[in-house]
Structure 1
Amino acid sequence: MQEKNTGRRALLRGTAVAATAAVAAPFVGGASAAEAATTSGLPWVGPAGSGATWEVNTTTGAQGAINTALNAVGPQGAVFVAAGTYYVKAPIVLLDKQTLVGAGPLSTLLKAASGFTGGAMVTGTATRMCIRDIGLDAVNLAANGVNLQIATKPTQYGPDPAPWLCRVFVANTTSDGIYLGGAYPGGQREYKLTDCRVEKAGGWAYNLQSSDGFVSGCSAQGGDAGGYLIGGGNTKMWGCKAYGTGSGTAPGPAFKVASSRATIVGCEAQDTYGCGFEVSGRAATLSGCTADSTGVGTTDRYSAGFFVEADVVNIDGCSFQRNGGGASWIGALGMRWALHLSGVPDYLSVRLVSDPDRPAPFQGTVLGAAGSHSSISVLG
């Protein structure tokens, strides 16, 4: 068992704490970590001997100390985890309106340990949660880095659950890196993802089944299923990028726009085993987006800059295949078509520019046909 800092004991009304965290890296400890936490009024978790409110134990896993801290501060509480590498053996569970704060995504790193049980490293079914400045390495032991699923309407400040992830880095999951959804209509409605990164996910890097979300400045490197699956309605995304997605046997797109009324601005798909942008959601708008050397290169279906199978779609962007071929660093051959239309979608407005200096396997600018209420222009 750990001992809590004496000064903190009175503040937290004598809450009993189990010492259950593990650490294996340099950390901001002692006075510096305490100052960082207390200046912002946050109780904190740190290694044994650091003077943390909740100190860690290398045997049972860091999730115990962090969960104890979250339970102690209660709804609307926040917990700071000092810099260091901490090993977890089960999920960290967020409560209603709570905030989990690290020293930075490359400074505070939570890693799944051998024997990890549970689906996600960080999870929760409450509302209005916030996770920021923290890194999550699943080490191919945990399914997700973050999995937040909402089943009920918020009791306060409704109706939107609205979680916020900021500067959260996720790596090496066996399934989706970050998953947002739930049985409540719209799932994590009005969620916000800013400056996050997912790499080497076993499923989608980002599986966003919630609606009315805002996604900005995020990146995906890898993702066996693809980069971003945008499943909820009315999602707004800008300044995001995905590359290295999919595989030779299961081509995955950089962006799968399955949401109705999604707006995607200034995003880039580069060097993928699937199409750059796949649009299957009605009334989507893509503006200023770039597809660069996207596609496995051996089939038309998975080798386009933009693949469209939905009606009422507006696209304005560019697609090109670089000299020397496709994503040779992952083994993909690259783009065959700038625009691939599937199933004769209608009410399309498409304006694309495709570099005329294109090496193989480029076949042409447009494959397929649109309905009679459409306007299609691809220069190149």
Structure 2
Amino acid sequence: MQEKNSGRRALLRGTAVAAGAVVAAPFVGGASPAEAATTSGLPWVGPAGSGATWEVNATAGAQEAINTALNAVGPQGAVFVAAGTYTVKAPIVLLDKQTLVGAGPLSTLLKAGSGFTGGAMVTTDAASNNARMCVRDIGLDGAGLAANGVNLQIASKPAPYAPDPAPWLCRVFVANTTSDGIYLGGTYSGGQREFKLTDCRVEKAGGWAYNLQSSDGFVSGCSAQGGASGGYLVGGGNIKMWGCKAYGTGSGAEPGPAFKVASSRATIVGCEAQDTYGCGFEVSGRGSTLSGCTADSTGVGAVGKDRYSAGFYVDTSVVNIEGCSYQRAGGGASWLGADGMRWALYLYNSPDYLSVRLVSDPNRSVPFQGTVFGTAGTHSSISVLG
């Protein structure tokens, strides 16, 4: 039976290679790390004595073995990091079109250790034109030492093709950073343009959980908990988001929201803000659309803090919003010193060309004050039921 299974694995591997596919190492049932890496066709990094292609020297830090592996496989190469918790003492640097893959976001965990130097745990050279990197199935714990979990930037047009750098992050877990958990940007027009973030989670970031300064990106199924500056800073143009959530975010004299939509022409669908220290959704990106979004007990809730105590806050024109905005009994980020929502909708400086359709539960509780604060321009249609 063992020989039969071995033959079957070889056959499957050969079929996958012929089709141009890679069999993901984490899903080879019952396989050892060496078998999993071999079956996937990936060179791998593992602990000392594991027989890995590159073994980790705990004194030097795992980044030494991982960077050596990435440099060895070169552009378009992929490296698998076996399950385990590894200390890193400097950034892991991705090259052009490389893939860094772990056994799962809670199985392969890279943790910043004492003496960590450099900004992000996984990064690119900000002066480079490397692009289309992929990071998946890996956990990054900044341990209060690393500024970012992931920081991908691009400074010039990608050399081998154009125009979009397009990195992919899938099932990446980031925690305990001193600044933004995940940052995408760069001085190249549009930054890491056409990026894709799927099923990622950031918690306890010292800045924004997600700081997206790149354009034309796609974000789905992500979550944010405890970003000090806020949940998602949607700063690039034409970003599309759906099915994302933020809670327990925001702090300070100017509390950050769960979602700050600064991107022009952004589309946010089916997202939720819950129990935050700042507003649920702040919209400053002209031409943006929010559809089916929920703000649940969001805001400081204190008297005189109305500007930071709304479900939806709008300070720009040409915006379309449809959703629900309500205060639950006992809702609010009490552990952050916040009581919740005072206004379902807050309009600043009379924005115009607004179409807003919100529902607010009529059985709301304190600190709720009313449905709409402020006024809209004459070319607007505002309806908040409740």
TM-score (norm 2): 0.90
Selected match of 1:356 from 352, 359, 362:
362
Instruction: Indicate yes or no: 2:372 matched with 1:366.
Output: yes
SS of 2:32's partner is helix
CA distance in 1, matches of 2:254, 2:53: 47
CA distance in 2, matches of 1:230, 1:248: 20
SS of 1:34's partner is helix
More helix by share: 2
Q: How does 1:23-34 map to 2 (within 5 A)?
A: 32-34=32-34
Which residue identity is paired with 2:45?
A: V
Unaligned runs of 5+ in 1: 1-27
Instruction: Indicate yes or no: 2:117 matched with 1:111.
Output: no
Which residue identity is paired with 2:157?
A: K
Q: How does 1:142-221 map to 2 (within 5 A)?
A: 142-221=146-225
What is the Cα deviation at residue 300 of structure 1? 0.6
Which residue identity is paired with 1:348?
A: L
Deviations 1:197-243 (A, max 9, x none): 00000000000000000000000001010000000000000000000
Q: Is the 8 A contact 2:272 2:296 kept in 1?
A: yes
The residue aligned with 1:243 is 247
What is the Cα deviation at residue 329 of structure 1? 3.5
Q: Is the 8 A contact 2:274 2:332 kept in 1?
A: no
What is the Cα deviation at residue 177 of structure 1? 0.2
Deviations 1:50-70 (A, max 9, x none): 010001111010000000000
The residue aligned with 2:123 is 123
CA distance in 2, matches of 1:54, 1:277: 46
What is the Cα deviation at residue 247 of structure 1? 2.0
Q: Is the 8 A contact 2:279 2:299 kept in 1?
A: yes
Q: Report the count of equivalent residues.
A: 352
SS of 2:35's partner is helix
Unaligned runs of 5+ in 2: 1-27
Deviations 1:69-102 (A, max 9, x none): 0000000000000000000000000000000000
Selected match of 2:330 from 304, 315, 324:
324
Of the structure 1 ranges 320-329 and 302-311, higher mean CA displacement relative to structure 2 is found in 320-329
The residue aligned with 1:312 is 318
CA distance in 1, matches of 2:82, 2:146: 22
The residue aligned with 1:283 is 287
CA distance in 2, matches of 1:191, 1:139: 26
The residue aligned with 1:84 is 84
The residue aligned with 2:9 is none
Change (3 A) 1:304 1:310: same
Q: Is the 8 A contact 1:265 1:289 kept in 2?
A: yes
SS of 1:133's partner is strand
Q: How does 1:63-102 map to 2 (within 5 A)?
A: 63-102=63-102
CA distance in 2, matches of 1:156, 1:293: 48
Q: Is the 8 A contact 1:325 1:360 kept in 2?
A: no
Q: Is the 8 A contact 1:248 1:296 kept in 2?
A: no
The CA RMSD over aligned residues, in Å, is 1.2
SS of 1:68's partner is helix
Which residue identity is paired with 2:115?
A: G
SS of 2:52's partner is coil
SS of 1:66's partner is helix
CA distance in 2, matches of 1:116, 1:39: 34
| Percent of aligned pairs with the same amino acid | 86
Which residue identity is paired with 1:74?
A: G
What is the Cα deviation at residue 31 of structure 1? 6.5
CA distance in 2, matches of 1:111, 1:327: 28
